[in-house]
Structure formats: structure tokens, C-alpha cells
Chains A and B, each alone.
Chain A
């Protein structure tokens, strides 16, 4: 039943085909079986999940079950969970148990979803491979020698391996879409401000956005509806009503103009381009029209993104100083020693690299040349999208330039890893919604196509992905290793 759609699970629970307890037990058993191999979850919470399952069964029996009642899910481990370890994949927070919930985890719970665990990730969401976490490498369910993508690799692997039908994740520069593509699932990053960031441990505040993962666009629609909305605790969340995404999935693609952003189709593996072209062809069959769009400043995106993200991260991660919580070195000899060793020991090399680069980019004498210039480039990139959306309703591109790469393959070359984010980072710089939906596989590995829309076009994006998924079965392929 863990392979069933959320719509089916809702029916199954309401028709008493199975109980929430049975569903949660199945999920926990699946985690037991798979997590040793995949390392997708850092924490599993069977006790609280079963208590919640019994409560869900009572609500189902009483007939007042909320939307996601009884549906198991995992949260990426950078969402704070009251009383449950929240590590951000870091030694720095290896012992951190928050006394508060993120708005996302609170909203998911109030809609009846049941947390069965916390998903592994690159440390502080910095990475594109889920190899950079303190809790070890996450493996791709399609090929255990390959990465699941990152930074939300644990969430993606958990859904792909059918541990859970749904997962939350976060996306700062592609951290939902790229692992969704690598693992053959659907992942959506909504518009900046659509979902509260309260309790989402910050990497780069102006780019971080919570989002959802599921097998299908339809499944994602349910979770997105549950966790979205204005939050007075997050000043950057947007005061705008949440649409009924699951109810908006039916629609006609006739006359819809889909832009193919030229630079996003260059410099990638041709098999990947072909796979996404197959998705484009399918959309044309459904009535859409393809137009090529220019993105003149696309080449600025990766460097702009890394400058801004690292500048913000250098400040956001200053609070991890060993003074109040988190890792603290043994026997500090003075304050400087406490800072140096706590941070040196608590952060991995990649995190330290980003903090140092970000600190440099903000330093007196350099800030205008680096951070200042990046902020100006960000505006140009954003303007590119505004101009492009005058010619199309949404855009389609490959999510990543390749399918999942081998574990360790890019370990020694951080720049190569950064460059692989070329098609996802601009969306975050502009704050736009985007999702990744599976296309035909390449050599037995999933490939994702990225749909990008204007601000708050989540409904349209989900509708188009859903129609594509209704016409094809690319998203329903199951990894053999996890069958």
C-alpha cells in the first residue's frame, strides 16, 4: 500500500480497507528494511508515530479526519520538531532537540500527517549529493553506488524507496528538484514566501524555501496545500490565500505556451536533453505549444547564487558558537579557542568553505565587488524571467545536466558540483515556483524535467505536471533494488 497514491490512501483509510496504524506500521517496517542500505533517515520515531496513528484512526472513525489523516511522512532534518532531534545533518547539531515546531511540521501534523522520521541531508542543506552530512552518505535507491542528489537526498530516497508516500524538503538552489530528478520522483519548490520558513534552520534566508516531494504531482498537491500559508512568525511569508491544489489538477493544456529557455538546454548530456525533449513532445500532444525563450543573463546564475548564498550562510551560521547549544569543544582554554575549535569540529569542510567564502564576500573592501555585484546580477536574472514570461506561460528544462552521478565522483571538485546546479539556482534567485517531474530513464537512471512558472503559479505547474503524468507512466517506475 506504500506505493499507492495519496488519493488512494485517503480512500483506503476512509473505507476501512486498512487502518492508519497498519499504514504507519507498514511504513516503519519498510524503513527497517531499507534504511540500513540507503541511510535516508537520521532519526526514526516509531513510538510517537504509532500514538499519532491511533489518534488518526479515532478521527477517521469519528468522521472528522483532516486531509492527510493517517498518511506517514518524513521531514527533512532541517525542520525543527518539538522534542525530536533536529540535526541539519551536522555534528554541530548532533545533539540538538528543539523545544518548538517549525510551522511546516506543525501544519503537516494539524492536517493529520504522521511523522515517522527525519531525513538525512547535506550538512545545513549545503550540497548537491547528500554526501556532506555528518550522518553519512545517502544512497540512491536506483543504484546504491550513486548519489540521490542533494541536499534533500534523504527525503527523495525515502519517497523513491517507498518508505513513505510524502516528504518535506527545502530548496535553496535546487535541493528539492535535483534529488527528485535523481530519484525519479516529483518534487516542488513553491514561490518564495508561500511556505513559512519559521523553524526551517536557515542556510541562505533569501533563497531558502520549504517544499514537498511525492511520487506524483497529485501527491505533492496534497502536502503543499497542507503546509502553505501566511505565517506571522515569518516576516517574508506572503499574505495570500492558499489555493486548493488537489482540486486544480484537472485542466486543458490547449493553447498553453511552454517556453524552452535556450541556455538551460546547452552543455548537458544529450541523453538527458533527449529525455526532457520527450516530455516536451508529450506536452505538445496534450495541446501545448513550445516556444524558445532567451535568458540573456543565465550564465551569471551560478556565481551569483553561490556568492549570495554563501554570504548569507556566513552570517546565519554565526550562532553556532558552542556557547548556548550544539557542539562545544572539550576544555576550551579561552573564548577564541572555544569559538575556533567548536566551529572547526562542528562543521564539515564544505560548510567551512562556504562560511569562509561568504565572510570574504561581505568583508570591508570586497563587499561591493562581490556581494554588491551579485545583488545587481540577481536583479538582472529576475528580469530575464519577467521578460520570458511575457512570451510563455511556463518553462520546461532539464532539472540537472546529468542523471545521478557516482558517490565520490565530484568529491574532490567542489566547483564541478556547483556548476551542476546551473539549471536550478536562478529560480531561487528570482523566488519563483518550480517542480521536477520524471521523464524517460537514461541507462536505467531517472531523469527529471523542470517546470518553472511565474510567481504563485503553483496550481498551473501542478496541473501541467499532473496532466503529463496522466498521459505517461515515467513517474510510476519503481527502482528494482527497492522493489
Chain B
């Protein structure tokens, strides 16, 4: 059999770190990057007698997520203890949800080269994160940092609905866009705010029986997810084709070697002895709260994309690019608002073209853009009212980006105002024609492309400020006439 005769079955578990100010069961800050153990309270340290108190904000975020994917929100759900010993798990158990997750069902739409699909979500539950074990800091000792212990996570489990690494990545990206659009996660993959585990199995195409699956952990970028799953599919197919079995196990992805390796097998799996946490009451989410959250929900990426295409008349690709990134959306909307009646398509083109290009070259994030939406709106207003040509606009943009001041001041300081006065343009053209008899002869002899020489000369003489449309029109009249 060749690889084409196999079908992969992929399900993802995505850990979304919720953007609450404080931890899910304690008042400690969740800010990233503090000195080790400086954001760990007595509760986070598992000190005797301390008790967890649920952060209502985490519940609201989970509900918003559930509403966004069209899921069922449990009217009452329960926190359970997942018991296991590990040094970075201070209480000896993780507070999670087991039998009664807060969110059940729902789906997320994805688009790949092979078309649009809907991926079903099995459930999403709230839980606390563990701390970090650091094994390479002190010789012969492991260090424990409990700053992350108790950070709220929403674990989103998909159905095994994906069949290619591309679909898995599309799903992960759609989820990434959604949680950032909902403003419930900062989406920072490097800092671990958005983590993904994949369950992968393969079966002969046409078979409906699921193969034995392996779980792949430790993939902290979209690229690694794609590569790791691709590698895992090939590994499993290779094993099956060479008469070996796939073992149910957890495998770690090594991005340096681009391979997965076994971490623990099913036999070594722990018995977590889940039971309801007696320190916490069941969480009730009533209709009033759901309605309150629904009203406050931002526009979701899919609805926004449709609106951009249908109402703002953006192209499909532009709409997709913009709505994929909540920061781009925010910038785009702010520019439209500041600019009054600017054509949305022009705004989109400038943001996706000039602005993103300049930011990429300067290696800056959107939020660090030196050009504000208001400045961009001012600039595009000047292009729109004819003060600047598109080309001059780009010069002004560069000056804005370099921090040279406001749009009108730059135009003034650089003398970049477009010349649309027809008598001024005519005078320059007459001069150019008079000083280029040879070219005039060539042109009139049928060499049409010499026309560009005249345009160039006029623009040069006006330092690019002449209105290009007017120059073309007047030149044609004079040369042809």
C-alpha cells in the first residue's frame, strides 16, 4: 500500500490560557515573566488549610467561548480533583473538570485547499495549570517555579474530525483567531498561552474502524503541529506496512530532529482517581448570565468576514487576512472610524500592503506601529481629496513611519503637495516638448513608447508632484494635437 491508501484520523486538544488578571482559584497575578515563585500565594504553594475560590471571570470566558462555537453551556458543572504526584503540582492534585465540563458540543469552521469543513468540538473544560519544573538550572537538582501554578486554562477537545495535517493546522489557527477575537487569550504560543496536543491514528482508506492512536505533545507552533502530525502519520503507516503494530502511547515532538519519540505507554498511564472537589461548590450558569455575556460578545471572525465582503466590498482574500488577526481588525476598524468616508478597500490595501510591509521590515508588532490609525486615515484622506498622488502618499507614509510628524506637516515640510493647476502643468509640458525635438519626432513617427519619456521628464521637473492623470492627458493633447 502507498501512503495515499491510508487515511489519518486526527483530534486536537488545545489548552487555551485564559486572560484573567488573577489565577483561577487564588488572587495571585497571572502576568508572564515574573521572577520564579513571586506570583505564588499560600494556596498556589499548596499550604495546609488554604482553600480555592473560583475566579468568576474564568467562567465568563468559558461561557463566551461556548456561545461562540454554538455549544451547550452546562447550567451546573462540577470541578473534580485529578490526583497525581509531581513536584510542580503542589497540592498533589489538579483541579479540573471531568464528568461535567462547562461547555459541551459546538463546532468550528475551517477552510483548506480542499474546501470548507466544520470540525466538531467534543467539550471544553476549565482547569488550573501546573507549575514548571526546571531541570537544567542547578546541577543535580530540579527547580520548581510555581508562578504558572493555578493559571486558568480552557481545554478544548475536538472530535477526531480532521484527516490531514493541513486541516489540523487550519483548525488550530481558526481556534487561535477565535480566542483572540473573544479577547479571552493572548494567543502567545512561545509563552505557552496556546498549546496543542494531537491524537493521531491511521486506517486504510474506506475503513470506518479507528486505528490505535498516539498522542503527540510539545508542539508550540503551527508549523511544528503540521510537521509533527505529518511525521507521525508516516511513522504509523510505516509500522503498519512493515507488519508492526501502533502502540497506544504519548509521544513527544522534537522540533530539532523533526521526529516524535515515546514518552510513556498506556500501561504506564496514571490512575488519576478523579472525584468531585469538596472544597468547591457546583458552578451554576443561569440564563441571565448567559444573556449578559452574549450581549457583550464581540463580532466573531466568521460574521465579520462576511460583513467585510458583503458590506465593505473587500475581496475574499483581504477579508480573510484581516479577520484572521484581531489586531489587524482593530486597526482597520479604527482607521475606518477615524477616516469618515474612506473607501474600505483602499484602507484594507494600505494596511495589508504598506503598513504590514513596513512593520515586517522593522520587525514590529501591529500594536507597536509608529503610524496610528488616525494618521493613516489622515494620509488616505489627502490621497482621496487629491492633495497627494498615490506615489506621494507612499512617501508621506514613510515619513510618518519614521516619526517625522503629522501628515499635513510632512506634506508642507517636504513640499509634496500635488500640482493640479493645469496652467502650471501646461507650462512644464511646453518646456519639455520644446527641449526634446528628437523625441517628439520619434513619437510622431509612431514610436508610442517614447510617450513615457515625456511623462518621466514632466514628473522629474515637478519633483513628482504633478497630478499624474493630468500630465498624461495634457501631454497626449499636445503631442497628438
Which A residues form the contact surface with B (CB < 8 A)?
78-80, 86, 88, 93, 96, 98-100, 102, 197-202, 204-206, 232-236, 311-312, 314-315, 317-319, 321, 323-325, 335, 339, 359, 362-364, 367, 371
Within 8 A of A (CB), among B84-137: 85, 87, 90-93
- Binding site secondary structure of chain B: loop
Would you give the shortest CB distance from B5 to chain A, in whole angstroms? 38
Bound-complex Cα distance A324 to B271 (A): 24
- Return 5 A-B CB contacts under 8 Å, by A number: A204-B278, A235-B54, A319-B48, A363-B271, A367-B273
Q: Which residue of B lies closest to A319 (CB)?
A: B46
- Collect the chain A residues with CB atoms within 8 Å of residue B90's CB: 319, 323-324
- Collect the chain B residues with CB atoms within 8 Å of residue A102's CB: 49
Contact A315 B81 (CB under 8 A): yes
B246 part of interface (Cβ distance < 8 Å): no
A323 with B144, Cβ < 8 A, contacts A236-B279, A318-B83, A364-B271 known: yes
Contact A98 B47 (CB under 8 A): yes
- Binding site secondary structure of chain A: loop
Within 8 A of A (CB), among B267-297: 271, 273-275, 278-281
Contact A98 B273 (CB under 8 A): no
- Collect the chain B residues with CB atoms within 8 Å of residue A359's CB: 273
A319 with B91, Cβ < 8 A, contacts A80-B49, A205-B279, A364-B273 known: yes
Contact B48 A235 (CB under 8 A): no
Bound-complex Cα distance A324 to B49 (A): 15
- Collect the chain B residues with CB atoms within 8 Å of residue A100's CB: 42, 47, 49-50
- Which of B42, B47, B53 meets A232, CB within 8 Å? B53
Bound-complex Cα distance A234 to B51 (A): 6
Indicate the member of A79, A80, A88, A317 with the most B CB atoms within 10 Å: A80
Contact B273 A339 (CB under 8 A): no
- Collect the chain B residues with CB atoms within 8 Å of residue A204's CB: 278
Contact A315 B275 (CB under 8 A): yes
- Collect the chain A residues with CB atoms within 8 Å of residue B51's CB: 197-198, 233-235
Bound-complex Cα distance A151 to B311 (A): 73
Would you give the shortest CB distance from B256 to chain A, in whole angstroms? 27
Contact A318 B271 (CB under 8 A): no
* Besides the known contacts A78-B49, A100-B50, 9 further A-B residue pairs in the complex with CB atoms under 8 A apart: A98-B42, A200-B49, A233-B51, A234-B53, A235-B51, A311-B275, A315-B81, A318-B83, A362-B274
Q: Which residue of B lies closest to A79 (CB)?
A: B49
- Collect the chain B residues with CB atoms within 8 Å of residue A311's CB: 275
B52 part of interface (Cβ distance < 8 Å): yes
Bound-complex Cα distance A399 to B263 (A): 55
Contact B47 A325 (CB under 8 A): yes
- Collect the chain B residues with CB atoms within 8 Å of residue A236's CB: 278-281
Q: Which residue of A lies closest to B142 (CB)?
A: A335
- Which of A99, A197, A233, A321 meets B53, CB within 8 Å? A233
Nearest 5 CB-CB pairs, A to B? A318-B92, A206-B278, A362-B273, A205-B278, A199-B49
B45 part of interface (Cβ distance < 8 Å): yes
Contact B281 A235 (CB under 8 A): yes
- Which of A86, A201, A371 meets B275, CB within 8 Å? A371
Q: Which residue of A lies closest to B269 (CB)?
A: A364
- Which of A206, A339, A362 meets B85, CB within 8 Å? A339
Contact A202 B92 (CB under 8 A): no
Bound-complex Cα distance A100 to B50 (A): 9
- Collect the chain B residues with CB atoms within 8 Å of residue A335's CB: 87
Contact A363 B273 (CB under 8 A): yes
Contact B48 A312 (CB under 8 A): no
- Collect the chain B residues with CB atoms within 8 Å of residue A317's CB: 92
Would you give the shortest CB distance from A121 to chain B, in whole angstroms? 14
